[in-house]
Amino acid sequence: MEEQKKQILSENLRLLLFKFSAPTITGMVIIALYNFVDTLFVGNAVGPDAIAGLTVVLPVMIFIVAIGLLTGVGSASIVSRSLGRGDNNKAITAGGDGIILNTILNVIIIIPIFIFSENILKFLGASSQVLPYSRDYLDIMLLGFIFLSFSINGTNLIRAEGRPRASMYEMLIGAILNIILDYFFVIIFGWGVKGAALATVISHIASAAYIFIFFMSRSSIFHLRLNMFKINKSISGEILKLGTPSFLMEIVGSVVFLLFIKFVSRYGGDVYITITGIGIRIVDLIFMPIVGISQGFSPLVGFNYGAKLYSRVKRVLREAFIWASVITLSGFIVMVVFPEFLIGIFTTDVDVIEKGAAPLRFIAMLAPLWSFPILGSAFFQAIGKARPSLVITLSRDLFFFIPSVFILPLFFGLTGVWASWPVTDFSCFLITVIFLVKEIKVINKSMEIKE
């Protein structure tokens, strides 16, 4: 661990960012492939209505992911900063508290979803034509939600230890298994939506098993000792505080996606829900690498900030933005120039392909700005400042997207629904830049005092 700490605090930051981010980028793309592959197989084997059915379930899945991020990001921030200061005992306690909190919260949430699943799906916008597909998918996915959340929590802890490659292996195991099982369950066995859900659940269980084995090994600082599973109220409170921005980002995102589906359904019907589902899968393949960069650079920021190496903190932030901008610009070009090709990957339905081109172009209009709120929020979490991270997180969906999606359709109909994306992207970009400029000034002043 001391050797790892020495590298983080002294080695070339560009190489370190590549070392830490490459595995997490790979891992996050793999996570995006879960839903991408499910949708691809289901869309081609079952049809557009099945894609709409999977899309309706997404807000529920986002909610489960939110729990994993709440405990995982919060505990990981404490772990990385504690290790940076040489306080291994606090890091171990934070890891144990994160796992306990994750388990408790999942049990509290999953039971009501199981009891009221059909009512929830109808509320989320499942029509009578789409509901059977949504119900088949959710009923099976519920069995794997606790493993999904545990995996997200555990992956954050592994990265916080400075073991990004180990976290990548966990994601690779789950994703490769999911693709293989999807092929057999959906295409070969003809189980349709149920097969896709079963493949995903088994993959989540495999990922969780890998994390458990890693924590039991000598490679981890945790070793899953019983004495680390004693709730420390102070540390648990800090975990929840620091993880709240990520949690709220997902929860608000879930609510916004629910509203978005309802507006799409109102102005366009099931065919546009299908288009929305396809668009989200494509957007995830762009967003997830940026999230991977943010997770890869967070330990670097946390360690160096904890060690008061502020110039290195600024440099790693700049490098992260450069990498992310390359990704978002590439995504922008592909989505704007080749939307019909992208939609055609998921379905051969001519109506869906023709109607889907314009929405994809609207969604990607300001894609080059997507990295700013993601990296900005992660940066403030990594340095232990939850408030600006929370404001950045809430501003995107709560302050900008919801008003836009309510107001714009009143004047422009379905086009206004799609236009809410670029309006939100530009507004959130501005608020993030304001916070970052202010914090950089604080860091510059701290550097002057230190010198």
Instruction: State how far the alpha carbon of 351 is from the alpha carbons of 138, 260, 264, in Å.
Output: 27, 21, 16
- Does 105 fall in a domain? yes
Is the C-alpha dihedral spanning 322, 323, 325, 330 positive or negative?
A: positive
- Does 5 fall in a domain? no
Radius of gyration of the chain (CA): 21
Q: Domain range holding 79?
A: 10-450
The DSSP symbol for 184 reads I
**C-beta of residue 163 within 8 angstroms of C-beta of residue 304:** no
For the chain, 451 residues long, give each residue's pLDDT as a single digit of tens. 555 566 666 566 677 777 777 777 876 787 777 778 888 899 998 888 899 898 899 889 888 989 999 999 899 889 888 887 888 888 888 888 898 999 999 999 999 998 998 999 988 888 888 899 999 999 999 989 999 999 999 988 888 887 877 877 888 888 889 989 999 999 999 999 999 999 999 999 999 999 999 988 877 887 766 666 678 888 889 999 888 877 887 887 788 888 898 899 889 888 999 999 999 889 988 888 898 888 888 888 877 787 777 778 888 888 889 989 999 999 999 999 999 999 999 988 899 999 999 999 999 999 999 999 999 988 888 888 878 888 887 788 788 989 999 999 999 999 999 999 999 999 999 999 999 999 888 888 877 776 6
d(CA 338, CA 341): 5
Backbone angles phi, psi at 429, to 5 degrees: -60, -45
Helix axes 117-124, 88-115, angle to 10 degrees: 90
- Does 283 fall in a domain? yes
Q: How far does CA 265 lie from the centroid of its chain?
A: 25
pLDDT at 225: 67
d(CA 40, CA 22): 25
- Does 182 fall in a domain? yes
Instruction: State how far the alpha carbon of 361 is from the alpha carbons of 264, 279, 324, 347, 402, in Å.
Output: 16, 10, 20, 18, 20
- The tally of domains found in the chain comes to 1
Residue 152 neighbours by CB under 8 Å, 6+ apart: 65, 68, 69, 72
Residue 234 neighbours by CB under 8 Å, 6+ apart: none
The angle formed by the CA atoms of residues 264, 276 and 341, to the nearest 5 degrees, is 135
- Does 4 fall in a domain? no
pLDDT at 3: 59
pLDDT at 203: 93
- Does 97 fall in a domain? yes
pLDDT at 313: 81
Length, in residues, of the chain: 451
Helix axes 233-267, 48-85, angle to 10 degrees: 160
Cβ neighbours around 333 below 10 Å, total: 13
d(CA 218, CA 160): 16
d(CA 167, CA 145): 19
Note the pTM of the prediction, 2 decimals.
0.78
pLDDT at 368: 92
Q: Which residue has the tokens 């994601």?
A: 171
- Does 395 fall in a domain? yes
Q: Which residue has the tokens 């610009």?
A: 329
- Does 299 fall in a domain? yes
Backbone angles phi, psi at 191, to 5 degrees: -85, -5
